[in-house]
Amino acid sequence: MQVLSVCGGVPLRGTAVIHGAKNSVLPVLAACVLCRSPCVLHNCPNIDDVESALQILRHLGCTAARSGSTVCVDASGMDACQIPPELAGKMRSSIIFLGAILSRLGCAELALPGGCPLGERPIDLHIAALRQMGAECVCSPDCVCCRAARLHGAVIALPFPSVGATENALLAALGCGETIEIQNAAREPEITDLVRFLQSAGAEISGGGTSKLTVCGGRPLHGTTYTILPDRVETASFLCAAAGCGGDVTLVRTDCTALSAVCSVLEGCGCEISSGRDSLRIRAPRRLRASRETIVTAPYPGFPTDVQAPMMAALLRAEGESRICETIFENRFHHVPQLRKLGADIALCGQTACIRGAERLRGAALHAEDLRGAMALVIGALQSEEESTITGIKHLRRGYDNLEENLRALGADVKCVEIC
């Protein structure tokens, strides 16, 4: 079994390279199904979820190959509309293929998606949107089947700006011969990136980045060459690691425009953050001040739920008491009992965590249960001079490319060891 060994207690100093965004490349890979000639995607992170998406594409009859950080997909030979449990169950993003396959072939059959255990994670908003376009969807406890002889125009008002439901509705809408309007659409940068990719393939979409998307579908898309935007969650994770440990870290090949909510919290805790054209530099004191304001997760441009766990870890030693409220997922505190093993003082009251800064943290044997929680354990362990071990690192492999090497480039003592 692979275990991450971490010995911390030192400031982080140096430069780390940020990769393409997991939550952008995955819907873009699903969208390639709509393109009748090859797509070339640059800046694709080398992570397990991308490999899972490539396996799904090959299962559907597409060709999909990687060369370094470039992925080439040719969906011209696509001849299947089913995704079996062993592929769909590996990640949440498999559900985004539903709208794309339905749009392309008029039928789709998917086993229910996997992904981080953050709560129930239903797909009712996805299904409701497809039904509004005329799809017949039948949901059973372990799979969903959709058929649509013809998808028609609709005004889809999402009750919540769901990222996945927005992506599914967008991809299905491209198969409609009429205009589709998606109201209360998610505004995350990854949605904007998906819109830009589709536009580069010939799609007629307006409103990317706003809460109203208008799609004039019905025409096949052509192949394109596209560069995936930098991963804002990876960037925020490294900012939190530097803030928790202290030091002076520069992140390159990133996009500093999408992290104002995270940067303002860290600056309020005593960090100095400066940005270049495609870089961010953070200088952090040995010990942060606690966050004066309660950190509340919210849909973009609010504080990202994916940064809730890394930020909690950054605040474990902050002087004073910080509060974090999780409003997006009902069960996203799996990392709390693990962080307590390090000596962290965290009290949970419903969806709010209260962190009282500890003078020192100890080493511990930790276990990760989800992707961003796993990163929080790494950040927590990096703040103790004692050794910690982390199991469940398969979660890290799903979403962080080259993590150990990047952390070692900053002076961290992190290594992956095999234990029997």
Binding site for ligand EPZ (CB under 6 A): 22-23, 26, 92-93, 116, 119, 121-126, 160, 162-165, 233, 305-306, 328-329, 371-372, 399
Question: Whose Cβ is closer to ligand EPZ: residue 74's or residue 370's?
Answer: 370
Sole residue written with tokens 């100890």: 362
What minimum distance in Å lies between the beta carbon of 162 and ligand EPZ?
Answer: 3
What minimum distance in Å lies between the beta carbon of 329 and ligand EPZ?
Answer: 5
**Encoded amino acid at 308, one letter:** Q
Question: Whose Cβ is closer to ligand EPZ: residue 92's or residue 317's?
Answer: 92
What minimum distance in Å lies between the beta carbon of 32 and ligand EPZ?
Answer: 16
Contacts of 245 (CB under 8 A, 6+ apart): 8, 10, 11, 12, 284, 379, 382, 383, 412
Question: Whose Cβ is closer to ligand EPZ: residue 108's or residue 361's?
Answer: 108
DSSP state string for 206-257: E-TTSSEEEEE--SPBPP-EEEPPB-HHHHHHHHHHHHHH-EEEEEES--GG
What minimum distance in Å lies between the beta carbon of 370 and ligand EPZ?
Answer: 7
CA atoms within 13 A on the CB side of 240: 31
What minimum distance in Å lies between the beta carbon of 25 and ligand EPZ?
Answer: 10
Question: Do the beta carbons of residue 303 and residue 259 sit within 8 Å?
Answer: no
DSSP state string for 79-96: ---EE-HHHHTT-GGGGH
Question: Whose Cβ is closer to ligand EPZ: residue 23's or residue 254's?
Answer: 23
Query: What CA–CA distance (Å, rounded) separates 92 from 331?
Result: 16
Q: Give alpha helix (H) positions in 106-220.
A: 124-132, 163-173, 189-200
Task: Tell me, yes or no, if 240 is annotated catalytic.
Answer: no
* CA-closest candidate to residue 392, choices 362, 360, 416: 416
Which of 35, 62, 116, 176 does the annotation list as catalytic?
116
Radius of gyration from C-alpha coordinates of the chain: 21
Question: Whose Cβ is closer to ligand EPZ: residue 290's or residue 375's?
Answer: 375
Question: Whose Cβ is closer to ligand EPZ: residue 97's or residue 361's?
Answer: 97
Question: Whose Cβ is closer to ligand EPZ: residue 119's or residue 276's?
Answer: 119
Question: Do the beta carbons of residue 334 and residue 345 sit within 8 Å?
Answer: no
Question: Do the beta carbons of residue 202 and residue 275 sit within 8 Å?
Answer: no
Question: Do the beta carbons of residue 374 and residue 382 sit within 8 Å?
Answer: no
Query: What CA–CA distance (Å, rounded) separates 25 from 42?
Result: 10
CA distances for 160 relative to 179, 193, 299, 372, angstroms: 21, 20, 9, 22
What minimum distance in Å lies between the beta carbon of 232 and ligand EPZ?
Answer: 10
Q: State the virtual CA torsion across 162, 110, 46, 400 in degrees, nearest 10.
A: 50
Question: Whose Cβ is closer to ligand EPZ: residue 53's or residue 364's?
Answer: 53
Query: What CA–CA distance (Å, rounded) separates 198 from 96?
Result: 14
What minimum distance in Å lies between the beta carbon of 418 and ligand EPZ?
Answer: 26
What minimum distance in Å lies between the beta carbon of 392 and ligand EPZ?
Answer: 15
Sole residue written with tokens 């989800």: 370
Residues catalogued as catalytic: 116
